[in-house]
Amino acid sequence: MATRDYYEILGVGRTATTDEIRKAYRKLARKYHPDINPGDKAAEEKFKEISAAHEVVGDPEKRKLYDEFGEQGLSPGFDAEKARAYQQWQQQSAQTGGSYTFESGDLNDVFGYGGFEELFGRRGSARSNVAFRGEDIETSMDIDFLDAVKGFQAGLTLRRAVPCDRCSGTGKVSDKPCSTCGGTGRVLRTETVRVNIPPGAETGKRIRVPGKGGSGIRGGPAGDLYIVPRVSEHRLFTRDGSDLTMELPVTIGEALRGTVIEVPTPTGQVKVKVPAGAQSGQRLRVKGKGVSAHGRNSAGDLYLRLMIKTPKDGIPKEVTDRIDQAYQEDIRKDLRL
């Protein structure tokens, strides 16, 4: 079955601007998102199709390849410059009445391992039995701050090379090249894979998911998936490595006499003792309430930075005078250059 045109899937023309493509995608994504259509398999498949189309035509580089070479231009190992050189050579050969035959291995250095077969497998013979590791895939992911701190599982929709169902990845049907995959044993497919994001994800720091890249060629091992996180900011917490910091407002009275305050942490509420005579800017440590433990990494800590707040409407003068009288030394004695 022929693959539908990505522009048609999004309902835009080939001359659509990037903004028009983005708006069309958002409109369709809202309509068919699995969260809005729970249990609706048709909507889920439609959402995957829309996401795959936007992943290509919404990316200027991928769109350029798709416009020039079609879906084959997105194949693993594809090299546009080398493909253009081959097409030019092929055209010149035809114009001069020449003929050509080739083995897939003869042009591996031109198209990259498997790249020639991905693009021209139906025209040439693919008789090599050499196994190759599948290609690695890199994709980005928006991650909520608290999810990054605690770790989570997620479904990630991506387009990758998978074993051909018709030939079971062998590239042959009855000793003939498989017409579905062109003898490569692989086809491109949009899939949703489950991935484990460990605690401690950081913006720009790649996360490796073994075996979730492109499938191997002729029985070779699968490549890896690399996720590049984009972690959001949080209104309460800031992060330094595995430790978190949060400002904790306290009243003047609480700072003077000490108190116990219940504070939020990524894993639930905890009670924290504020010592008598606490100072503004003083840090209190809550052990093990930062980034969750993972593997050999122990849990980080949560630091509370005390911020003494004065009443917005002020304090009666007799009260402030009594507070000032309680100071036994000049609190600005060290302000000297």
Say what the pLDDT of residue 104 is. 38
- Rounded Cα distance between 203 and 231, Å, is 5
For the chain, list residues with pLDDT below 70. 1-4, 76-78, 82-130
- Rounded Cα distance between 230 and 80, Å, is 30
- In 20-51, which positions are buried (b, 16+ CB within 10 angstroms) versus exposed (e)? ebeebbeebeeebbeeeeeeeeebbebbbbbb
pTM score, whole prediction = 0.59
DSSP string, 223-283: --EEEEEEEPP-SSEEEETTEEEEEEEEEHHHHHH-EEEEEEETTEEEEEEEPTT--TT-E
Q: Using one digit for the tens of pLDDT, what is the confidence trace for 22-71?
A: 999 989 988 988 878 888 888 888 888 898 889 889 988 888 888 887 77
Domains and CATH numbers, the chain: 131-232 (2.60.260.20), 237-325 (2.60.260.20)
Instruction: List, in order, residues 6 or more apart from 163 with CB less than 8 Å away.
Output: 169, 185, 186, 215
Amino acid at 24: A
Distances (CA, A) of 195 to 156, 180, 213, 224, 335: 7, 29, 12, 12, 55
Say what the pLDDT of residue 87 is. 58
